[in-house]
Structure 1
Amino acid sequence: MAPRTATHARDTAPPAPAGRRAWLITVMIVAFMVINFADKSVLGLAAVPIMEELGLSNSTYGLISSSFYFLFSVSGLLVGFLSTRISSRILLLGMTVLWAVAQLPVLVVASVPTLMAGRILLGAAEGPAASMSMHALYKWFPPERRALPSALQIGGAALGMLIAAPVVTWLIDGFGWRSAYAVLAAVSAAWALVWWRVGHDGPYDHQHTGTGSGGPRLPYRRILRTGTVLGSIASAFGAAWALSLSHAWLPAYFRTQMDMSAAASATAISVMSGVGLVLLLTVCPFVDALKSHGVSSRWSSGAAQSIAVCVAGCAMAAFPFVDASAPRLVLIALAFGGIAIAIPLHYMTTAEVVPAAQRGAVFGIVAGIGTLPGLVAPFLTGHLIDAADTQTAGYTTAFLVAGAVMLTAGAFALTAIRPERDAQRLGLGTEPGAPG
């Protein structure tokens, strides 16, 4: 692959990131992701009391959980394309305001329609959250410095569960499940106020790249047909299947299948999230180190995300057959926490085959397609539980299906992701994700 000339690099390189401001934006985006996943997890953490109060079947609860994803992918796609024209500052502000509004319907009337309405609105507002906050973060860091900020951004998701599980459970047990919705609405609104004051687009915005029009562009069909983008979507798909199950069904599984109290279930979820956070903060900097020593992106970020999804899939299929509590919990932590590695890395591999001016739109497409399991997995799980002879048998079938999906997705990603080859075929040079 022919390297770019030094003159070209000087002509197209944007200014260096603004030190403290770059890390302030990183802190705000980590907080954004913490709130995002706390909002997303509240229904699952309150599943048992809500089902008991409203008399919901597993299938009905699964449908409510899946309703979160009715507009999730569509909004991710639409906002991804809007990001080429609208500031990340405005987009993230609008999302968090809608998060606050989405928590309010159940505070007025607690019913299946209001639960679904709130979840649909929340899903529409959160669909672009991960991809657009990553896009906003990338505007502050050059390609060779993105692994740690990316890990911190996705680490905010694990931190969200780490914090939300005990805090939201404490609110539910002490003040009723509605109190958790009210507090999360207030927190989302508070973040929006702070972001409006401090949030700005960074020097690696596409407007600073190449020409004033935003640098080189390619037909989207060419980008989306590369093995790297397709493989990145596959790894996102496998990770999202596990992630949607963890939000919708894992708290209920701990309560009903492992006879845990609400507090013990919250602790187990926090530990699992901690495992994901440790993996993120360990593996992602290691990926940067590998790249700095000349290891290709295919074998550093590409193989890491693919293998993580495959290993998590194996753990997912295995843990229902383990009787001892401690080994089962270890496998559960690996199944639901191990996929955390794949989430920032599939953005990194995608960014390497996308011109900076089109990065937000392609991130939206990858996120939109990659998160489609959320539309299927929670409802399918509820249906399998109701259709089985016992709840235990239903859960076992659901986790076997999840494991099969994850293994297939991870194996495909391992063979398809080849950023250097695809960047060369697209004529993007050695740093396609970089500005210029």
Structure 2
Amino acid sequence: MPNTDLTPATATDPVLSSPRHRRLAWTVTGLLVVFMMVNFADKSVLGLAADPIRHDLGLSATGFGLANSAFFLLFSLCGAMGGLLADRVRPRWLLLGMALLWSIAQVPMALGGGLVALVASRIVLGAAEGPAFPVAQHTALAWFPDRRRNLPGALITVGVTLGVVFAAPGLTWVIHRYGWRSAFAAVAVAGMVWAAAWAVLGADHRTSQAESRGAGAHAGSSGEESSPAPSYRRILTTRTWIGATIGYFSTYWMIALSLVWVPSYLHDGLGYPTTTAAGLVAGIWAVSAIALLGQAGVTGWLLKRGATSRLARARVGGISLIVSALGCGALSQAGRGPVTVLFLFAGFGLCGAMSAVAVTTVAEFVPARRRGGALGIMNAVVTTGGLVAPALTGYLVDTQGRAGYQHAVLLAAALLALGGTAAVTLIDPARDAWRLAP
């Protein structure tokens, strides 16, 4: 029995036929893109200011890695809790509260805090940002039927990359001109500005008539709303959820390395000047944005021509991870030069496409009443990579010197290969939607 969540939207869907709903859908999506930009600008501050922070606070590479890992201490747990809350509380207010808390968390370091304040503020920031990505995706995707979710889902994820693309040169300039503490003040102000805009223009689709009629790709109020929703245990044991989570985990491992250690790797490991390293970091995230939009275009094109999600989503995402694994494997053996930049962009840039694939895949086969929780728990699992990767890389650098960077990149290649294999072999939304159907 097919899941009603896969039933195609019709021309009567308000999100498709009402100009007001279309306008609101894209306004919300645009605001959430900026939301994710601010989110990852917050995360990137420590990596961009790594050298002056380590110098001023007297931190070893291991200590700096542990300080970054503190961000993820509550990140995963709060990500799962936030996703579950999004199934019960209006996401609009969750998003507003998160943005305000992000800004408050930056204040201690902007005002002169030391190591204790740094660790404490990163823990608070991680707790507030943990639910950001799943709640933002859940909020945006509710406005669109499944066959139209690839672009908004990709755009939300592109906000991640754009946040670093703009933050890398912008915050680097601020750090050099005004000192590293001013970067914390800058992202705090950005968070407050976004919160003000969201309070005026933001909206969610949770209780609207369109949600029950199909904007979340439901067939009607007599379908999913009147049938029992599957338990989270059943959802989390599907091969599709497991495969999407493993693939996304390898992507998030790379995200953590990009935010925390890639600037230092380029400067200390490969010998690039600081400004060049910042430009290359921005380049990585620009490539990731292109990969995300390219994935959305290819996936949408395949779906419109009748391809299954197993082909259109799983294969596209899995292959991007495998290509990234090859890029990282080559990068670990390369020295400074133009070819190294190509390997860097392939290894750290292309894998970002899997984050959007994982989200839209889960949104496709999980009923709306369980979607926020399923996405939140997936995010909680994958972001444990952010807890482990910075600390492990710091340990490798302290114990092995420059060779530690090479071994960290080689480990990343192995994880990407595992994630790509899992995505290609395990993900099949149609099969698991049928198994979850009442």
Q: TM-score range by the shorter chain?
A: over 0.9
Question: Does the residue aligned with 1:384 lie in a helix, a strand or coil?
Answer: helix
Matched, 1:425 2:435: yes
Q: Distance in 1 between matches of 2:332 and 2:136?
A: 35
Cα distance change of structure 1 residues 416 and 55 upon mapping to structure 2, 3 Å threshold:
same
Within 5 Å, which residues of 2 pair with 1:143-222? 143-202=146-205, 203=208, 210=221, 214=225, 216=227, 217-222=229-234
Contact 1:139 1:204 in 2 (8 A): no
Contact 1:11 1:210 in 2 (8 A): no
Matched, 1:331 2:331: no
Task: Give the one of 35, 38, 45 matched to 2:38.
Answer: 35
Q: Where does structure 1 differ by over 3 angstroms across 4 or more consecutive aligned residues?
A: 1-17, 203-209, 211-216
Deviation at 1:85, TM superposition (A): 1.3
Cα distance change of structure 1 residues 54 and 324 upon mapping to structure 2, 3 Å threshold:
closer
Matched, 1:84 2:87: yes
- Give per-residue Cα distances to partners, 1:265-284, cap 9 Å, x unaligned: 11111111111111112221
Cα distance change of structure 1 residues 2 and 114 upon mapping to structure 2, 3 Å threshold:
closer
- Give per-residue Cα distances to partners, 1:192-213, cap 9 Å, x unaligned: 0110111111258756662599
Question: Does the residue aligned with 1:321 lie in a helix, a strand or coil?
Answer: coil
Matched to 1:399, the amino acid is V
1:432 aligns to what? none
- Give per-residue Cα distances to partners, 1:157-196, cap 9 Å, x unaligned: 1111110000000000000000010011011011001101
Within 5 Å, which residues of 2 pair with 1:225-304? 225-304=237-316
The answer for unaligned runs of 5 or more in structure 1 is 429-436
Q: Distance in 1 between matches of 2:28 and 2:95?
A: 12
Q: Distance in 2 between matches of 1:319 and 1:309?
A: 15
Deviation at 1:109, TM superposition (A): 3.5
Contact 2:256 2:390 in 1 (8 A): yes
1:392 aligns to what? 402
Within 5 Å, which residues of 2 pair with 1:370-389? 370-388=382-400
Q: Distance in 1 between matches of 2:80 and 2:179?
A: 36
Q: Distance in 1 between matches of 2:367 and 2:4?
A: 15
- Give per-residue Cα distances to partners, 1:22-66, cap 9 Å, x unaligned: 111111011001101100101000001111111210000000111
1:407 aligns to what? 417
Q: Distance in 1 between matches of 2:211 and 2:3?
A: 21
Q: Distance in 1 between matches of 2:53 and 2:337?
A: 27
Normalised TM-score (structure 1): 0.93
Q: Distance in 2 between matches of 1:114 and 1:329?
A: 36
2:50 aligns to what? 47
Q: Distance in 1 between matches of 2:6 and 2:382?
A: 37
Matched to 1:425, the amino acid is R
Matched to 1:379, the amino acid is A
1:341 aligns to what? 353
Matched to 1:144, the amino acid is R
Contact 2:75 2:128 in 1 (8 A): yes
The answer for unaligned runs of 5 or more in structure 2 is 214-219
Normalised TM-score (structure 2): 0.92
Q: Distance in 2 between matches of 1:425 and 1:359?
A: 16
Cα distance change of structure 1 residues 205 and 4 upon mapping to structure 2, 3 Å threshold:
closer
2:217 aligns to what? none
Contact 1:206 1:356 in 2 (8 A): no
Q: Distance in 1 between matches of 2:36 and 2:15?
A: 27
Contact 1:68 1:122 in 2 (8 A): yes
Task: Give the one of 116, 119, 122 matched to 2:122.
Answer: 119
